[in-house]
Amino acid sequence: MNRDDALALVKEMNTQPGHVSHALAVEAAMRSYARRFGEDEEVWGLVGLLHDFDYEVYPDLHDHTIKGGEILREKGYPDHLITAIRSHNDATSVPRTERLHHALHACDELSGFITACALVRPSKSVMDLETKSVVKKMKDKAFARPVNREEMRQAAEELGVEFGEHVANVIEAMRRVAGELGL
């Protein structure tokens, strides 16, 4: 398992730059939480980087992470990493039983929402995005309509982090890689 190989796989399976950026954003957030919780930053980062690597090829939720897990297994990735990735897709019925699983679930949707919040700003950047702006956008049901706000709040709660603090943590993590994200 190494980051270069994982990133190459993400880029091989994804033609949309936004999908690659999303993977990098979730990776950054996962690495940040690994440091915070004293966990293995490399494993957590790989889980974040690879969590949606198969989405363009297998967008159906009944295939996404299932077929991708088979690809990862063939490439020699360990079962605990594959299980963590599958746990973020509710269609797999893989329970979130570890902090790693909860962190991925909490960081996935929120990083996409934060990206959307940044892109509607005049600067189109996370560098000047504030937590209160993201929380305010949560109240605007017309903004990023498909995003389940309650699920994002519940995911932070299951991770054991107050929602506003979680937003601030993910923004800060994304700022560290803003250049790679184009934000």
CB proximity list for 163: less than 8 A, separation 6 or greater: 135, 152, 153, 156, 157
Q: Parse the chain into domains and list their residue ranges.
A: 3-181
Beta carbons within 10 angstroms of residue 59's beta carbon: 10
Does residue 1 surpass a pLDDT of 90?
Answer: no
Cα angle for residues 69, 52, 159 (degrees, 5° grid): 95
Quote the percentage of the chain above a pLDDT of 90: 99
Q: Could you tell me the pLDDT band of residue 90, with boundaries at 50, 70 and 90?
A: very high
> Which one of 1.10.3210, 2.60.40, 2.40.10, 3.40.50 gives the CATH number of domain 3-181?
1.10.3210
Quote the percentage of the chain above a pLDDT of 70: 100
Cα angle for residues 59, 60, 66 (degrees, 5° grid): 90
Q: Could you tell me the pLDDT band of residue 7, with boundaries at 50, 70 and 90?
A: very high
For residue range 136-147, list pLDDT tens digits in order: 999 999 999 999
For residue range 91-125, list pLDDT tens digits in order: 999 999 999 999 999 999 999 999 999 999 999 99
